[in-house]
Amino acid sequence: MALEPNLAVYLLTILLVNSGAFLLLISIEKLPYPHNISKQYFLYSFVFSLMSYVGFISRIWFSLSFSVFTTNLFYLLSAYSVYYGLKQRYRLPLSLRSSIYFILHILLFSILQVAFALHDDKGLLGLRIRFLAGNLEFIFLLILVLLWRYRDKHHRGESVLFYSICYVFISIALLLFMYYWKTVPVYYMGWAFTVQITMAFALLGGFYALFLNDLSLKYYFEAIHDGMTGLHNRQYFYNTIAQCSFINITPSPLCILMCDLDHFKQINDNFGHACGDEVIITFAKMLTQHLRKQDLCARYGGEEFIVLLKETDLSKALVIAERMRQATCAIQLSAPFSTVRITASFGVAEMKNSHQLNEHLPDLIKAADTSLYQAKAEGRNRVCAAATVI
């Protein structure tokens, strides 16, 4: 059996498109978990798509039943790879029952397609096309439902993928109408392969937008967080205040809290830098446990941290700082032949009018820093408040 020249060109084109899509996706690296897992499934979708077309070509050398079985099997595997890739992305459980349904579906579907193909009846070709399109529509409908329920509408990549899947869904439906419009099989196959090429481009665009957005969010997260503690960094602290993220319509008091681990250099000298890092991480976790949702905490530098307490006057801020100081004293870390105990000093400064925060932030931080040095000068492991209110 020989392929028509036009069909051979279409097949070669779609093989090149799918191969290029696979290579482009594989070039995207360093995706965070679980997006790196979902990427593998999306890569499989292009691999299975390639194998389905190879299965179609294989009828030149092998039996028709083998060709039809492999072609339809990999068609469905390609679609299911997108579905399971999204389930991995949204961390949805993969139950044994759904896996059994998935296996039974693709096997029964492929066997039925072989049974239709073995009947020398041209009328069954339309039935096979409708059967394939209907099953693909079912899977892509599941994908659309999954995206609609779980996608982050603020994630531009997920929005692009959603519309890409919508295009694929509509394109599969169009293939049915094309069959009745172009009744000559060779013409129909030309139209079908052309549509499938655009579907491959649509999926590639959706996946690429998804992963590029994932990477940009990953790099942004790393840019605004301290790599060791997971707290926000100093630059993010200043930028957030500059954007007036903490300002309410009604003026209210707020406080800046500066805290510093006592004798931290001795910890590094006596127990090593690994222990010092563990101390900083543990102290940062303690700080976050004592903060409210509206508060902002950042690693200011080294073993020094800064906290912005929104809608908090000096008396309340001192209570919070004292709780943090007592929690610090309760921290015990294991070290070789010893137990490491730590203390911290705290300095607090108050601003009566939150609307003036942007203008007087340097003065407020300086006042909190001065009170921190006062706490250290008075013997450490204590809380001191600034003498003046800004």
Catalytic residues: 303
Q: What one-character DSSP code corresponds to residue 350? A: E
Residues β-bridged to residue 232: 225, 298
**C-alpha dist (Å) from residue 192 to 106, 182, 188, 279:** 21, 10, 6, 63
Residues β-bridged to residue 35: none
Task: State the DSSP string of 275-299.
Answer: HHHHHHHHHHHHHHHT--TT-EEEE
Cβ-contact 14, 197 below 8 angstroms: yes
Cβ-contact 32, 88 below 8 angstroms: no
Strand order of the β-sheet with 232-233 is: 232-233, 296-301, 304-309, 254-261, 344-351, 383-385
Q: Which residues contact 70 (CB under 8 A, 6 or more apart)?
A: 51, 52, 54, 55, 58
Angle among Cα 382, 388, 390 to the nearest 5 degrees reads 115
Phi-psi group of 266: left, alpha or beta (phi > 0 → left; psi -120 to 50 → alpha; rest → beta): alpha
Distance CA 190, CA 196 (A): 10
What letter represents residue 89's amino acid? R
Distance CA 37, CA 294 (A): 34
Distance CA 52, CA 78 (A): 9
Structure tokens of 247?
């300002």
Structure tokens of 219?
């790099």
